[in-house]
Amino acid sequence: MTATTGDVLAGLEDGAREVLDANWLGGSTLPSRTLYPHQWSWDSAFMALGRSWYDEERARQELRSLFRAQWADGRVPHIVFNPSVAEDAYFPGPAFWQSSKRSSKAPRDVETSGITQPPIHARAALEMHRHTRDADGSRAFLAWLYPKLAAQGAYLDGPRTIARPLPTLSISPPERRVAGLSSFCAIRVSSATSSTRFLISASGRRRPGARSGKARLSYTLRCG
């Protein structure tokens, strides 16, 4: 007997719920129990959106857990470390970042990374609200979340903006391997009179070239 499209979709939905529920820790969801044993920023946004279709309270708790680790400058760290996880379970871990010791802007009660990820959380929260079955609870959650989203946006539009209208560009070593890119990537930011070139190695080290002027800029990425 051939399965119908409805049967296949129902099976995928059931499987997705099983994965999310199996990885629920009581306040957030693990992206992977072996590869990613902490809370990741944009993983939490996607998982909260998916979970919101059948468990709205846990979906909101996913984002509450993440944004309680927001820094004083508005950044949302890309990792919130679970203190019960062994240090060698993931590198770079909390001993590498030492966020609470190295930065006065980092939260004191939780260890995090010092970098951020794409700000998809506002869109996730909006979509969660659009299909909510608990309008009052959703509005209360958004009232709590909105100032944090605004602070996140201000951080990205301020300290993280190099030269308008350039976007922020980041390629980590694991992402380069997945994409089939080589060990070195060059980012060239150019204007009519000058340019800036960076070679970024797999270790994350940056070697600057000539500095750019303040003319209108464009950039290209070349790996090889």
Please report the pLDDT score of residue 179 as a whole number. Answer: 45
Domains and CATH numbers, the chain: 5-157 (1.50.10.10), 173-223 (no CATH)
> What does the alpha-carbon distance between residue 115 and residue 78 come to, in Å, rounded to a whole number?
6
Please report the pLDDT score of residue 188 as a whole number. Answer: 43
Length of the chain: 224
Q: Quote the tokens at residue 18.
A: 């099983």
Please report the pLDDT score of residue 218 as a whole number. Answer: 42
Please report the pLDDT score of residue 108 as a whole number. Answer: 96
Please report the pLDDT score of residue 161 as a whole number. Answer: 72
For residue 216, count other CB atoms closer than 10 A to its CB: 11
DSSP class of residue 85? S
Q: Integer distance in angstroms from the first to the last C-alpha of the chain? A: 51
Please report the pLDDT score of residue 215 as a whole number. Answer: 39
Partners of residue 208 on adjacent β-strands? 198
Please report the pLDDT score of residue 159 as a whole number. Answer: 76
Please report the pLDDT score of residue 222 as a whole number. Answer: 42
Please report the pLDDT score of residue 191 as a whole number. Answer: 39
38: left (phi over 0), alpha (psi -120 to 50) or beta: beta
- Mark the ranges of the chain whose per-residue pLDDT is less than 70: 1, 162-224
